[in-house]
Amino acid sequence: MPDAPAPPEVFRHAVATLSAVRPRPDLVLRPLDAPPRLAPFTWAFSVEADIGHRGDGTDDLDEPDTSGRLILLHDPAGQDAWEGTFRIVCFVQARLEREQLGDEMLPVVAWSWLTEALEEAGAKHVALGGTVTQTSSVRFGDIAGPRRDDDVELRASWTPTDDAGELTAHADAFCALVATAAGLPPVGVATLAKRSV
Protein backbone atom coordinates (compact mmCIF):
# COMPACT_ATOMS: atom_id res chain seq x y z
CA MET A 1 0.00 0.00 0.00
CA PRO A 2 1.54 3.39 -0.97
CA ASP A 3 2.37 5.89 1.74
CA ALA A 4 -0.16 8.64 2.32
CA PRO A 5 0.93 11.96 0.81
CA ALA A 6 2.47 14.44 3.20
CA PRO A 7 0.02 17.16 4.26
CA PRO A 8 0.61 20.42 2.39
CA GLU A 9 2.05 23.36 4.28
CA VAL A 10 -1.23 25.32 4.15
CA PHE A 11 -3.01 22.43 5.92
CA ARG A 12 -0.27 22.09 8.55
CA HIS A 13 -0.51 25.84 9.17
CA ALA A 14 -4.32 25.67 9.47
CA VAL A 15 -4.01 22.85 12.02
CA ALA A 16 -1.43 24.86 13.97
CA THR A 17 -3.75 27.88 14.13
CA LEU A 18 -6.68 25.74 15.30
CA SER A 19 -4.44 24.07 17.88
CA ALA A 20 -3.40 27.48 19.20
CA VAL A 21 -6.85 28.15 20.66
CA ARG A 22 -6.82 28.85 24.41
CA PRO A 23 -10.36 28.19 25.65
CA ARG A 24 -11.84 29.29 28.94
CA PRO A 25 -10.77 26.99 31.81
CA ASP A 26 -14.15 25.27 32.20
CA LEU A 27 -13.88 23.72 28.73
CA VAL A 28 -11.83 20.57 28.16
CA LEU A 29 -10.19 20.14 24.74
CA ARG A 30 -8.90 16.82 23.52
CA PRO A 31 -7.40 15.68 20.21
CA LEU A 32 -9.70 13.46 18.21
CA ASP A 33 -9.23 11.06 15.32
CA ALA A 34 -10.84 12.68 12.30
CA PRO A 35 -12.90 10.60 9.85
CA PRO A 36 -10.38 9.80 7.09
CA ARG A 37 -12.71 9.52 4.07
CA LEU A 38 -14.29 12.97 4.13
CA ALA A 39 -11.37 14.70 2.42
CA PRO A 40 -7.74 14.01 1.46
CA PHE A 41 -6.57 15.71 4.70
CA THR A 42 -8.52 15.85 7.97
CA TRP A 43 -7.94 16.88 11.58
CA ALA A 44 -10.24 17.17 14.61
CA PHE A 45 -10.63 17.97 18.29
CA SER A 46 -13.40 17.62 20.87
CA VAL A 47 -14.63 20.05 23.50
CA GLU A 48 -16.56 19.12 26.64
CA ALA A 49 -18.25 21.41 29.12
CA ASP A 50 -20.07 20.89 32.38
CA ILE A 51 -21.58 23.45 34.73
CA GLY A 52 -19.78 21.78 37.64
CA HIS A 53 -16.43 21.58 35.87
CA ARG A 54 -13.60 22.86 38.05
CA GLY A 55 -11.15 23.56 35.25
CA ASP A 56 -8.26 21.85 37.03
CA GLY A 57 -8.06 18.77 34.79
CA THR A 58 -9.38 16.39 37.49
CA ASP A 59 -13.02 16.21 36.41
CA ASP A 60 -14.58 13.04 35.08
CA LEU A 61 -16.61 14.17 32.09
CA ASP A 62 -17.90 10.73 31.03
CA GLU A 63 -21.35 12.31 30.65
CA PRO A 64 -20.82 16.04 30.17
CA ASP A 65 -23.80 18.36 29.91
CA THR A 66 -22.45 19.55 26.58
CA SER A 67 -19.95 18.14 24.12
CA GLY A 68 -18.80 19.03 20.65
CA ARG A 69 -16.49 18.03 17.84
CA LEU A 70 -14.80 20.23 15.27
CA ILE A 71 -13.38 18.65 12.12
CA LEU A 72 -11.15 20.39 9.60
CA LEU A 73 -11.30 19.08 6.02
CA HIS A 74 -8.86 20.05 3.27
CA ASP A 75 -9.01 19.18 -0.40
CA PRO A 76 -6.24 20.96 -2.34
CA ALA A 77 -8.33 20.61 -5.52
CA GLY A 78 -11.30 22.24 -3.83
CA GLN A 79 -14.92 21.15 -3.95
CA ASP A 80 -17.70 23.11 -5.64
CA ALA A 81 -20.10 22.74 -2.70
CA TRP A 82 -17.44 24.07 -0.31
CA GLU A 83 -16.59 27.15 -2.40
CA GLY A 84 -12.99 26.67 -1.29
CA THR A 85 -10.31 24.15 -0.34
CA PHE A 86 -11.09 24.02 3.40
CA ARG A 87 -14.30 23.03 5.18
CA ILE A 88 -15.05 23.11 8.90
CA VAL A 89 -17.63 20.66 10.22
CA CYS A 90 -18.97 20.78 13.76
CA PHE A 91 -21.34 18.83 15.96
CA VAL A 92 -22.59 20.00 19.36
CA GLN A 93 -24.91 18.15 21.73
CA ALA A 94 -26.32 19.88 24.82
CA ARG A 95 -28.67 18.69 27.52
CA LEU A 96 -31.92 20.64 27.64
CA GLU A 97 -33.38 22.25 30.70
CA ARG A 98 -36.94 21.30 31.62
CA GLU A 99 -38.31 24.70 30.64
CA GLN A 100 -36.83 24.30 27.14
CA LEU A 101 -38.74 21.11 26.35
CA GLY A 102 -41.21 21.65 23.54
CA ASP A 103 -40.00 25.19 22.85
CA GLU A 104 -40.68 25.70 19.14
CA MET A 105 -38.14 28.54 18.99
CA LEU A 106 -35.29 26.41 20.37
CA PRO A 107 -33.88 25.42 16.94
CA VAL A 108 -33.78 29.08 15.88
CA VAL A 109 -32.11 30.08 19.15
CA ALA A 110 -29.60 27.22 18.94
CA TRP A 111 -28.67 28.20 15.37
CA SER A 112 -28.13 31.78 16.56
CA TRP A 113 -25.59 30.48 19.09
CA LEU A 114 -23.42 29.45 16.12
CA THR A 115 -23.97 32.48 13.89
CA GLU A 116 -23.35 34.91 16.75
CA ALA A 117 -20.22 33.02 17.86
CA LEU A 118 -18.79 33.19 14.33
CA GLU A 119 -19.61 36.89 14.04
CA GLU A 120 -18.23 37.84 17.46
CA ALA A 121 -15.00 35.90 16.85
CA GLY A 122 -14.53 37.53 13.45
CA ALA A 123 -14.47 34.10 11.78
CA LYS A 124 -15.02 34.94 8.10
CA HIS A 125 -16.88 32.27 6.17
CA VAL A 126 -19.16 31.32 3.26
CA ALA A 127 -21.50 28.42 2.50
CA LEU A 128 -22.74 28.00 6.08
CA GLY A 129 -25.39 25.32 6.50
CA GLY A 130 -26.62 22.83 9.05
CA THR A 131 -29.42 21.40 11.15
CA VAL A 132 -30.71 21.67 14.71
CA THR A 133 -32.48 18.62 16.16
CA GLN A 134 -34.22 18.01 19.47
CA THR A 135 -33.84 14.43 20.71
CA SER A 136 -35.30 12.52 23.62
CA SER A 137 -34.11 9.18 25.01
CA VAL A 138 -35.41 7.10 27.90
CA ARG A 139 -33.16 4.61 29.73
CA PHE A 140 -34.32 1.22 30.94
CA GLY A 141 -32.79 -1.54 33.02
CA ASP A 142 -29.32 -1.23 34.49
CA ILE A 143 -28.01 1.65 32.37
CA ALA A 144 -26.66 4.31 34.70
CA GLY A 145 -27.62 7.95 34.46
CA PRO A 146 -30.85 9.92 34.47
CA ARG A 147 -33.92 8.00 33.33
CA ARG A 148 -34.63 10.50 30.57
CA ASP A 149 -32.33 12.67 28.47
CA ASP A 150 -33.59 15.51 26.30
CA ASP A 151 -30.95 17.06 24.11
CA VAL A 152 -30.46 19.57 21.36
CA GLU A 153 -28.01 18.65 18.60
CA LEU A 154 -26.49 21.15 16.20
CA ARG A 155 -24.66 19.98 13.09
CA ALA A 156 -23.11 22.56 10.80
CA SER A 157 -20.38 23.19 8.28
CA TRP A 158 -18.87 26.25 6.66
CA THR A 159 -15.98 27.30 4.50
CA PRO A 160 -13.46 29.65 6.14
CA THR A 161 -12.35 32.55 3.97
CA ASP A 162 -9.56 33.77 6.26
CA ASP A 163 -6.24 34.35 4.52
CA ALA A 164 -3.58 31.63 4.42
CA GLY A 165 -5.39 29.18 6.68
CA GLU A 166 -5.52 31.46 9.73
CA LEU A 167 -8.29 29.59 11.57
CA THR A 168 -7.85 30.50 15.25
CA ALA A 169 -11.00 32.66 15.11
CA HIS A 170 -12.99 29.62 13.99
CA ALA A 171 -11.73 27.57 16.93
CA ASP A 172 -12.58 30.48 19.25
CA ALA A 173 -16.09 30.63 17.76
CA PHE A 174 -16.57 26.90 18.21
CA CYS A 175 -15.49 27.04 21.87
CA ALA A 176 -17.87 29.98 22.41
CA LEU A 177 -20.67 27.95 20.82
CA VAL A 178 -20.05 25.02 23.19
CA ALA A 179 -19.92 27.36 26.21
CA THR A 180 -23.21 29.00 25.22
CA ALA A 181 -24.89 25.65 24.58
CA ALA A 182 -23.72 24.51 28.02
CA GLY A 183 -25.22 27.58 29.66
CA LEU A 184 -21.87 28.69 31.03
CA PRO A 185 -21.85 32.28 32.28
CA PRO A 186 -19.61 34.87 30.61
CA VAL A 187 -15.96 34.58 31.64
CA GLY A 188 -15.46 36.21 35.04
CA VAL A 189 -19.13 35.88 36.08
CA ALA A 190 -19.94 33.33 38.79
CA THR A 191 -22.85 30.90 38.37
CA LEU A 192 -25.56 31.65 40.95
CA ALA A 193 -27.41 28.35 40.66
CA LYS A 194 -26.79 24.95 39.12
CA ARG A 195 -28.60 24.15 35.95
CA SER A 196 -31.38 21.60 36.39
CA VAL A 197 -31.06 18.36 34.44
Question: Which tens digits make up the pLDDT trace of 108-140?
Answer: 999 999 999 999 999 999 999 999 998 777 777
pLDDT of residue 90: 97
- Per-residue pLDDT, averaged over 158-167, amounts to 87
Burial of 71 (0-12, 13-18, 19+ CB in 10 A): buried
- Per-residue pLDDT, averaged over 187-191, amounts to 61
**C-alpha to C-alpha distance for 30 and 43, rounded to whole angstroms:** 12
pLDDT of residue 140: 79
Q: Where are the domains of the chain?
A: 9-52+61-182
Query: Which pLDDT band holds residue 92 (cuts at 50, 70, 90)?
Result: very high
pLDDT of residue 36: 83
Does this model's pTM top 0.95? no
Of 4-8, 55-59, 116-120, the least confident? 55-59
Q: Does residue 195 or residue 6 have the better pLDDT?
A: 6
pLDDT of residue 100: 60
Residue 160 contacts by C-beta under 8 Å, 6 or more apart in sequence? 84, 86, 88, 123, 124, 125, 167, 170
Q: Indicate the SS3 state at residue 121.
A: helix
Query: Which pLDDT band holds residue 16 (cuts at 50, 70, 90)?
Result: very high
